[in-house]
Amino acid sequence: MQAKILVIHGDGIGPEVTTVGQAVLKKVAELFGHQFSFEEALLGHQAIVATGQPLPEDTLQKAKNVDAILFGAIGHPMYDQNPNLPVRPEQGLLKLRKELGLFANLRPIQVFEELLEASPIKPEILRGADILFFRELTGGIYFGTPRERRDNGNTAVDTCIYTKAEVRRIAVMAFQAAKNRRGKVTSVDKANVLETSRLWRETVTEVAQDFPEVELEHQLVDSMTMKLISQPRNYDVILTENLFGDILTDEASQIAGSMGLLASASVGSNVGLYEPIHGSAPDIAGQNVANPIASVLSASLLLSMSLNLKTESEAVVQAVRLVLSEGYRTKDIATPQTPSNQLLGTREMGEKILQKLAALAV
């Protein structure tokens, strides 16, 4: 297979972890006889520094003309310290999702048996948990207008807007996925308070009529935050809107043990964007301590979903599993019992995964 892949390293630890993810893709091409070509582009703080814009036009045009995008992370402390800055890294990612029509964010939460002790949640609660989140990505309060300051800056307004069409298209994807998994969709909203959530619940219920083999459950977001941690094995596919999905999937990282383990795919009608769910983590950037596994698993999703290379995708996951089974850890998933010679940096963890991948392909 021939494929063109855009690599956007981004900010903070983004370049470190994405370099590992890209190395895995290159190794897959070498081992399985594919031809992957790579381009690079700027997004976020680095793009603002270089061009004044968080999403340069050059990046957008490249993104529209590739088969898939491997992305790192965006963000910089200067924006946290001054939330009123008019140009911000997040604007670039939001616009890229909108321009590419990436309306569905898929986040698999799967527990590695080898890492049960890495989570603060009891192993007997976690064991066997396997959840797939569908987060709507281009609607809701992140995109609604007006969003502005009024009354000399003393009043702020954000607007949450959803249409039935926006809800329907991601609900259909979630039900289709559940049909091929364990047959259950949990839709999360705040229908007891919000009009947008009442529209959400109504539309999801309508879509469910087309999937009689799939069980539909509705949950309010506040109770869901508790049940997700206390009963993770009860859930199969979780479907929710933009803001709620952003919060819940970060919470769910504790099921796996670390944000450094969780990949995501943002998909729509054409090109897909694949990225770790963690942020730019500027406090550890450049120190070779970031966990690259989320980027590696994002590369696995890219292989499976955009390139339809299921065998290669599974080989990447198996390589990660083998490295973990041998006791190798990065700092975020280590325990006090982890031997010092098995505590690896970003690059070293990547090298171990590449070695296992090569052995699997023999």
Q: Which residue, 128, 130, 177, is CA-closest to 305?
A: 177
Q: Angle at Cα 285 formed by Cα 283 and Cα 286, nearest 5°?
A: 135
Q: Which two three-digit tokens encode residue 4?
A: 């063109």
Q: Where are the beta strands (DSSP E) in 160-312?
A: 184-189, 215-220, 237-240, 263-267, 272-276
Query: What DSSP letter does each residue of 33-47 carry, written as one string?
Result: T-EEEEEE---THHH
343 forms beta bridges with 329
d(CA 31, CA 62): 27
Q: How much of the chain is helix, strand and coil, in % rounded to 5?
A: 50, 20, 30
Q: Is 139 helix (H, G, I), strand (E, B) or coil?
A: coil
**Nearby residues of 175 by Cβ (< 8 Å), 6 or more positions away:** 185, 207, 208, 210, 211, 214, 237
222 is catalytic: yes
Q: Which residue of the set 4, 179, 184, 250 is catalytic?
A: 250
- Whose tokens are 């297979």? That residue is 1
Q: Is the backbone of residue 236 left (phi > 0), alpha (psi -120 to 50) or beta?
A: alpha
Q: Which of 130, 184, 246, 331 is catalytic?
A: 246
Which one of 58, 80, 210, 222 is the catalytic residue? 222
Residue 190 is among the residues annotated as catalytic for this protein? yes
In whole angstroms, what is the distance from residue 56 CA to residue 66 CA? 16
Read off φ and ψ for residue 35, nearest 5 degrees: -120, 105
How far is residue 84's CA from residue 240's CA, in Å, rounded to a whole number? 29
Q: Which candidate in 190, 236, 274, 356 is catalytic?
A: 190
- Residue 314 tokens, joined: 């599974």
Which residues share a beta bridge with 333? none
Of 142, 235, 274, 328, the catalytic one is 142
* Catalytic annotation present for 130: no
Q: Amino acid identity of 359?
A: A
DSSP state of 218: E
Residue recorded with tokens 């036009």: 57
Q: Are 256 and 291 in contact (CB under 8 A)?
A: no
**Distances in whole angstroms, Cα of residue 212 to Cα of each of 69, 175, 194, 202:** 35, 10, 27, 16
Active site residues: 142, 190, 222, 246, 250
